[in-house]
Amino acid sequence: MARAAEQPGPLRLSTPLAEVRALRPAWADALARLGVFTVADLVKHLPMRYERLEAEAPIRDLAPGSIVTARGEVSATRVRPGGRRPRFEAALLDHTGRLDLVWFNQTYLKDRILPGMRLRVQGQARRFGPHGGWLQIVNPKWEALDEDREAAVQGARIRPVYPASEAMNSARVEQAVSRVLDAALPQIEDHLSDEFRRAKDLPALAEAYRMAHRPASEEEAAAAHRRLAYDELLLLQLGVFLRRAQVRRTMRAEPLRWSEQIDRHIRARFPFALTRAQDRVVGEVVADLTRDEPANRLIQGDVGSGKTVIALYAMLLAAASGHQAALMAPTELLAEQHFLSIGEALRGADVRIELLTGALGRAERESALARIAAGEADLVIGTHALLTGDVKFRSLAVVVIDEQHRFGVHQRATLRGKAADAAAGDARALVPHTLVMTATPIPRTLALTLLGDLDVSTIDELPPGRTPIATRVVGPDKSPEVYGFVRQRLDAGDQAYIVVPAIDTGASAAGAGGDEDLADLRSVMARLEAHELSGRRLAALHGRLSARTRDHVMHRFRAGLIDALVATTVIEVGVDVPNATVMVIEHADMFGLAQLHQLRGRVGRGGKRSVCVLIAEPKTPDAELRLAAMAATTDGFALAEKDLEIRGPGEVFGQKQAGAPPFRVADLMRDRDLLVMARRDAAAWIERSPELRGPGEDLLRKRLLKLHGRWLGLGDVG
Ligand code: ADP
Ligand code: MG
């Protein structure tokens, strides 16, 4: 590969490392494989942690019993086979004395530590042998000193430990950094003003990078982390608030009418009194919907906490103001269930509801679309079929998206676009209020960052009269007892779910190929029919069945004509059959924690005590942790925190969920304080400067858009 031997002009932040003369070409290659290509990349390649390097001392002065650092020349080495614990020994000399080094079980060191080499070693010194003995270190940390590392460590030193590779170990990375850092630092411009930084007690950006790479003390390393992590959080939060301000400037929604009379009318439709938590959330939603600023609210509540009535309340409020509302569910099954239960609640009312799913025939669909466009349908319930271009509303004021974890930010935006165009005399586009509902509780910290463009309401209370679900984890050998218990329950008139992992290909009925995905379901079904549950009325439910068949099966299950459903995760969300009191999950170790919790939420919906049995043979520590967590609690929030702990935020709500880029520096668990501070500061900042176009804000805006512009849809602000 052609490589410029001379770097053209002075070192710039944008200079490729391959052109940096002070770096060996092999290093540049190795760094490239770590994703580090330019000088700027290298400066941003931060240490993962730091090690304390004790002050070096002449060998004569090393104090036995303490951790010491020394350097010298290797005078001799040998391997002593010594039975169970072979060892490698080296003698290290400086001008004051001799230090013996001993490594047990590391005889390969004989090829790496050679007489004549200069080493720096660290470890606990001790006296060994008769007559005061020799000074010795057992299993010292060591490094070979080449010409670059000869400078003696004066005082105790904090040494950075970098993300590294075999070809480019941490010490090499440190050397590479040190060769560009002095030239790079003066070129780093700060996007925060001196004044702002002083008020927050934060170091300048260049200084923070210096302290991260070359901390003079632990305090400096901490100060560097504080600045860089804060920066990252601040930029994200600024992006989120910028987006909000932009929405406020460019969009408006219908402010809905609310009165005590309307409220009474709506509540009269519910067969129960709302729980305190539901009442509070209704209040929050009403406050949103009666403003002309588009609502964008996440309603989170554990499975069974009663989110549907909140959705219904919001939709009825739209209808009461003469507008339309749409409810989008992730599956046809769920859309149909909502359609039925809402239809039930609205029996006799003059509110017209419409179901729009992919299962409708052409003619049915045409006439449904016509009613929606003419405003003859008040509430429209459907699946993603609502998103297609030919769905036109006359006056869509409220959109509710159920089980949001199945939908992306993008789909929310599409539905939003379905309101009429800007009203005359107002430059702002008219969009519907949006509520999204999820039973996958999002830990507060994550909600603040990743779903920052949403307000959050939480239903943290279950309706009264629920008995907690008992959860057991058992091995496959206990299967006979488990199904014995299921038989008892079925004989008592209860119903059961048997869940089997299979790849759920979604709502489509396209059955071509991939039959093996359902092999498990089929074999379990056959086994149960022949043995454990013979004579019982069983039915299979999975994503490959046509919507009509699934609907039929669910209908029969709800009507009590089927004793046990043998199902894949299609029953995961929302399905509500109070008489189903037993769930058995086969191969439970193959499901994620959130999924298990969702599945379990299908039982425990009536007054009777429900049981969930997880049959599993966990093969990984993570799987074991998941199952233990399931057995320990039924609290969805606790489980979500646990999930976060087991998998880390990147996995739980990574790019898939919200599109936010992962953090390089900040740690959401550890840096909660910084997050709260960054959020507050960002809110105040955008309040002051809603477009981030004030004096001295250019650089900040530019960096923010580069990082977050795309996923936040801020492109047009640039
Ligand atoms: P979610 O969607 O949050 O999982 P649902 O809205 O399906 O929960 O409600 C679960 C069950 O609880 C439903 O049968 C519903 O009728 C019932 N329910 C909801 N709110 C109440 C309440 N305040 N009192 C009694 N039952 C309620
Ligand atoms: Mg629901």
Give DSSP secondary structure letters for 258-315.
--HHHHHHHHTTSSSPPPHHHHHHHHHHHHHHTSSSPPEEEEEE-TTS--HHHHHHHH
| pLDDT band per the 50, 70, 90 thresholds, residue 573 | low
pLDDT at 627 over 80: yes
Alpha carbons 319 and 315: distance in angstroms, whole number = 6
Collapsing DSSP to helix, strand or coil, 435 comes out as strand
Alpha carbons 523 and 427: distance in angstroms, whole number = 61
Contact 13, 184 (CB under 8 A): yes
Q: What share of the chain is helix, strand, coil (3-state, %, to 5)?
A: 40, 20, 40
Q: Which DSSP string corresponds to 480-534? A: HHHHHHHHHHHHTT-EEEEE-------S-----S-GGGGHHHHHHHHHHHHTTTT
Q: How far is the CA of 307 from the centre of ligand 2 (A)?
A: 6
Alpha carbons 152 and 53: distance in angstroms, whole number = 12
pLDDT above 90 covers what percent of the chain? 51
Near ion ligand 2, which residues have CB within 5 Å?
574
Give the binding-site residues of ligand 1, using a 6 Å CB cut-off. 272, 274-275, 278, 301, 303-309, 439, 463, 574, 576, 605
The mean pLDDT value for 474-500 works out to 95
Alpha carbons 60 and 94: distance in angstroms, whole number = 9
Which of 534, 606, 542, 520 lies closest to 563, judged by CA? 534
Which pLDDT does position 2 carry in this prediction? 46
Alpha carbons 110 and 66: distance in angstroms, whole number = 27
Of the bound ligands, which one is closest to the alpha carbon of residue 301?
1
Please tell me the residue having the least CA distance from ligand 1 atom 10: 304
| pLDDT band per the 50, 70, 90 thresholds, residue 505 | very low
| Type and span of the H or E element at 195 | helix 194-200
Please tell me the residue having the least CA distance from ligand 1 atom 18: 306
Of the bound ligands, which one is closest to the alpha carbon of residue 267?
1
Alpha carbons 545 and 506: distance in angstroms, whole number = 10
Which pLDDT does position 339 carry in this prediction? 93
Which atom of ligand 1 approaches the CA of 278 most closely?
23
| pLDDT band per the 50, 70, 90 thresholds, residue 686 | very high
Name 201's Cβ contacts closer than 8 Å, sequence gap at least 6: none
For ligand 1, mutation pick of 573, 576, 598, 608 (most atoms within 8 Å of CB): 576
Distances (CA, A) of 13 to 187, 503, 664, 703: 7, 48, 19, 15
Query: In this structure, what are the phi and psi dihedrals at residue 169, rounded to the nearest 5 degrees?
Result: -75, 175
- Tell me the pLDDT tens digit for each residue of 640-669: 778 777 766 554 443 344 445 567 888 776
Which atom of ligand 1 approaches the CA of 275 most closely?
23
Task: Give the mean pLDDT of the chain.
Answer: 85
> Is residue 363 exposed (0-12), middle (13-18) or buried (19+ Cβ within 10 Å)?
exposed
pLDDT at 1 over 50: no
Please tell me the residue having the least CA distance from ligand 1 atom 16: 306
Which pLDDT does position 718 carry in this prediction? 38
Residues β-bridged to residue 303: none
Q: Which DSSP string corresponds to 96-157? A: TEEEEEEEET-GGGGGTS-TT-EEEEEEEEEEESSTT-EEEEES-EEEE--GGG-SPP-S-E
- Residue 427: left if φ>0, alpha if ψ -120 to 50, beta else—which one? alpha
Q: How far is the CA of 290 from the centre of ligand 1 (A)?
A: 25
Query: In this structure, what are the phi and psi dihedrals at residue 551, rounded to the nearest 5 degrees?
Result: -60, -45
Contact 387, 411 (CB under 8 A): yes
Q: How far is the CA of 304 from the centre of ligand 1 (A)?
A: 5
Alpha carbons 630 and 595: distance in angstroms, whole number = 11
Distances (CA, A) of 45 to 12, 162, 189, 575: 16, 8, 17, 48
Q: How far is the CA of 22 from the centre of ligand 2 (A)?
A: 62
| pLDDT band per the 50, 70, 90 thresholds, residue 127 | confident
290: amino acid identity, one letter = T
Name 55's Cβ contacts closer than 8 Å, sequence gap at least 6: 69, 153, 154, 155, 156, 157
Which atom of ligand 1 approaches the CA of 302 most closely?
3
Please tell me the residue having the least CA distance from ligand 1 atom 24: 463
Query: In this structure, what are the phi and psi dihedrals at residue 343, rounded to the nearest 5 degrees?
Result: -60, -40
Which atom of ligand 1 approaches the CA of 305 most closely?
3
- Tell me the pLDDT tens digit for each residue of 64-112: 887 888 999 999 999 988 777 889 999 999 999 999 999 988 888 999 9
Alpha carbons 142 and 663: distance in angstroms, whole number = 33
Whether the full predicted model's pTM is greater than 0.75, yes or no, is no
For ligand 1, mutation pick of 280, 282, 305, 340 (most atoms within 8 Å of CB): 305
Please calculate the CA angle 149-151-152 and round it to the nearest 5 degrees. 115
Contact 115, 76 (CB under 8 A): yes
Residue whose tokens read 């091995």: 475
- Tell me the pLDDT tens digit for each residue of 17-27: 999 998 999 99
| pLDDT band per the 50, 70, 90 thresholds, residue 416 | low
Which atom of ligand 1 approaches the CA of 309 most closely?
6
pLDDT at 438 over 70: yes
Q: How far is the CA of 439 from the centre of ligand 2 (A)?
A: 7
Output the six-digit token pair for 632.
């320990």
Please tell me the residue having the least CA distance from ligand 1 atom 15: 306
Contact 50, 223 (CB under 8 A): no
Name 118's Cβ contacts closer than 8 Å, sequence gap at least 6: 71, 72, 73, 74, 144, 145, 150
- Tell me the pLDDT tens digit for each residue of 603-626: 988 778 899 999 999 888 888 999
Please calculate the CA angle 368-369-374 and round it to the nearest 5 degrees. 100
The mean pLDDT value for 550-569 works out to 89
Q: How far is the CA of 574 from the centre of ligand 2 (A)?
A: 4
Which pLDDT does position 155 carry in this prediction? 62
Q: How far is the CA of 308 from the centre of ligand 2 (A)?
A: 6
Alpha carbons 679 and 449: distance in angstroms, whole number = 8
The mean pLDDT value for 412-425 works out to 53
Q: How far is the CA of 278 from the centre of ligand 1 (A)?
A: 10
For ligand 1, mutation pick of 308, 315, 327, 597 (most atoms within 8 Å of CB): 308
Name 239's Cβ contacts closer than 8 Å, sequence gap at least 6: 704, 707, 708, 709, 712, 714
Of the bound ligands, which one is closest to the alpha carbon of residue 402?
2
| pLDDT band per the 50, 70, 90 thresholds, residue 592 | confident
- Tell me the pLDDT tens digit for each residue of 199-220: 999 999 999 999 999 998 889 9
